Amino acid sequence: MGIKDTSTYNMEKDYYENLQEGPRFMGEIPPWNSKPSFPFIGQRLNSPLGIPAGLLLDSKWVGLYASLGFDILAYKTVRSHQYPPHPWPNCLFVKTDMIKPHEPPTQLVAPKDWEPPSPRRVTITNSFGMPSLDPIRWQDDVEKSLGLLKEGQVLIVSVVGTFKGSQEGLVEDFIRVASMASEAGAPIIELNFSCPNITEGEGTIYTDPPLAGWIAREVSKAVKGIPLLVKVGLLLGQDLDTLMRAIAPWVQGVVGINSVSLAVVNEEGKPALSPDRKTSGVCGWAIRQCGLTFVKEARTMKEKERYELAIYGCGGVTEGEHIRAYLKHGAQAVFTCTGAMFNPYLALEYKGVMEPQTNHKPLNYQSPV
Ligand SMILES: Cc1cc2nc3c(=O)[nH]c(=O)nc-3n(C[C@H](O)[C@H](O)[C@H](O)COP(=O)(O)O)c2cc1C
């Protein structure tokens, strides 16, 4: 038993096992009341706190985290066709200090059998490659997810097009998958323009502002009336400004950051996940300064250039204090993925329903639903 066992996502099992058997949680959930008062894209939510695309593999996961008081729930990125995940392992602990946004390390180590000192200090590397179920299956499940939300909560459906050699084809596939999400009843659609585990094509759209603007424009025409968000990786300075200018006319908000793409090696200096995965996404505690710097810069640019775009913060939030720091720096809502994976009570702690956990008990292996 260790920190690994406090995670709702079982790192020792593969993606499909987690989809079928997860989430791993049998704890008690104290009662809490809905109080919709925070503005979020034309609605009122109970809080500005959410789970970004990634942890909510299906409606069972959406239902659990909604009942745990997370009010913005982003369904894990889906595609216009079935798509396999990268092979297991998909998550490993990484031993690192806080990563400096302007001087990220060249590589980090994921030591075998090492565990972080507490769930609040967890940094992991994740590598999934944006797998997707067949649309018929995820569309039904999105509908089911909508029925599990409480008053003052909202669902976002994250989508990605698949690059098959041409940018025209990628734009068309984004239109296809966003239209499928719209048919399924998605109240908000997020265009995932970054995946640190896919090193070209759809994984790096956020570094190509003309392509990002093109996709955002075409999707906004195709799904008229549905608010759009864009998810980006770590981008700062002029590059961030150019991207914001390209997408601002078409989308309501930008969510950053995705996991930081870095070389993660084992103690022998070899790629830690598998020989062909030389880089992977690093997320959790150590990327908080990267996420905060992104939010600060995005906010400054938004104010200077009058971009009509909300800024949503993500990265390294593992405590209530971190949520408050993001809000202070200009984020209009805050997302936590790794933090909520290892401490599912984070929202209830933030809302004052529970005292911050000091003694994290391992979670049971069965799902409550
Ligand atoms: C298990 C896992 C799966 C993820 N899958 C996705 C995904 O499908 N789409 C996406 O946009 N981001 C994905 N992410 C990235 C998160 O949304 C988030 O941007 C990143 O983890 C940084 O936040 P954190 O430090 O709170 O974990 C994933 C992250 C994790 C840990």
58-101 per-position pLDDT tens digit: 999 999 999 999 999 999 999 999 999 999 999 999 999 999 99
User: Is 336 a pocket residue for ligand 1 (Cβ < 6 Å)?
Assistant: yes
Average pLDDT over residues 323-340: 98
Q: Which residues of 242-261 are buried (b: 16+ CB within 10 A; e: fewer)?
A: ebbebbbebbbbbbbbbbbb
Integer Cα distance of 173 and 171 in angstroms: 5
77 CA closest ligand 1 atom index: 8
- pLDDT tens digits for 155-164? 999 999 999 9
Distance CA 130, CA 54 (A): 9
Q: Give the whole-number percent of the chain exceeding pLDDT 90.
A: 93
* CB of 339 closer than 6 angstroms to any ligand 1 atom: yes
Residue type, 355: E
Tell me the pLDDT of the chain averaged across its residues: 95
* Residue 258 CA, ligand 1 centroid: distance in Å: 6
Q: How far apart are CA 334 and CA 343, in angstroms?
A: 16
Q: Is the CB of 287 under 6 A from ligand 1?
A: yes
Answer yes or no: 337 catalytic. no
Q: Best of 7, 283, 287 to mutate for ligand 1, by most ligand atoms within 8 A of CB?
A: 283
Residue 368 pLDDT exceeds 50: no
Which residue among 202, 234, 259, 326 has the greatest number of ligand 1 atoms within 8 angstroms of its CB, and so is best to mutate?
A: 259
pLDDT in tens, 182-191: 999 999 999 9
pLDDT for 197 equals 84
What confidence category does residue 365 fall into, taking pLDDT thresholds of 50, 70 and 90? very low
158, 228 Cβ separation under 8 angstroms: no
Query: What pLDDT does residue 356 have?
Result: 87
Residue of 111 and 360 predicted with greater confidence? 111
The residue type of 124 is I
Are the C-beta atoms of 167 and 211 separated by less than 8 Å? yes
**Distance in angstroms (rounded) separating the CA atoms of residues 145 and 252:** 23
Q: Whose CA is nearest to atom 23 of ligand 1?
A: 315
For residue 275, count other CB atoms closer than 10 A to its CB: 7
The CA 183 to ligand 1 mean position distance, Å, reads: 25
Render pLDDT for 242-290 as a digit per residue (tens, 0 to 9): 999 999 999 999 999 999 999 999 999 999 999 999 999 999 999 999 9
Write down the domain spans for the chain.
3-23+36-82+135-256+286-350
Task: Report the nearest-CA residue for atom 7 of ligand 1.
Answer: 54
- Closest C-alpha to 177, from 211, 214, 133: 133
pLDDT of residue 367: 39
For residue 43 the two structure tokens come to 């609605």
Average pLDDT over residues 14-24: 97
Q: Which residues pair with 39 in a beta bridge?
A: 44
> Residue 324's pLDDT is what?
98
Query: Would you say residue 145 has pLDDT above 50?
Result: yes
Q: Of the ranges 46-55, 106-115, 198-207, 291-300, which one carries the lowest mean pLDDT score?
A: 198-207
CATH 3.20.20.70 fits 3-23+36-82+135-256+286-350, yes or no: yes
Beta strands 43-45 and 188-192, pairing class = unpaired
> How much is the pLDDT for 236?
97
Q: How many angstroms does the Cα of residue 284 sit away from the middle of ligand 1?
A: 9
Pocket test for ligand 1, best of 77, 130, 205, 258 (most atoms within 8 A of CB): 258
Average the pLDDT over 292-304 and give the result. Answer: 98
Q: Is the CB of 316 under 6 A from ligand 1?
A: yes
Q: Which 3-state string (H, E, C) describes the chain?
A: CCHHHHCCCCCCCCHHHHHHHCCCCCCCCCCCCCCCCEEECCEEECCCEEEEEEEECCHHHHHHHHHCCCCEEEEEEECCCCECCCCCCCEEECECCCCCCCCCCCEEECCCCCCCCCHHHCEEEECCCCCECCHHHHHHHHHHHHCCCCCCCEEEEEECCCCCCCHHHHHHHHHHHHHHHHHCCCCEEEEECCCCCCCCHHHHHHHCHHHHHHHHHHHHHHCCCCCEEEEECCCCHHHHHHHHHHHCCCCCEEEECCCEEEEEECCCCCECCCCCCCEEEEEEHHHHHHHHHHHHHHHHHHHHHCCCCEEEEECCCCCHHHHHHHHHCCCCEEECCHHHHHCCCHHHHHCCCCCCCCCCCCCCCCCCC
Query: 167-183 and 135-146 are packed helices; what angle lies between their axes, rounded to 10 degrees?
Result: 40
Q: How confident is the model at residue 33 (pLDDT cuts 50, 70, 90)?
A: very high
pLDDT band of residue 364 (cuts 50, 70, 90) is very low
User: Taking 60 as the threshold, does the pLDDT of residue 366 lie above it?
Assistant: no
Residue nearest to atom 19 of ligand 1 (CA): 258
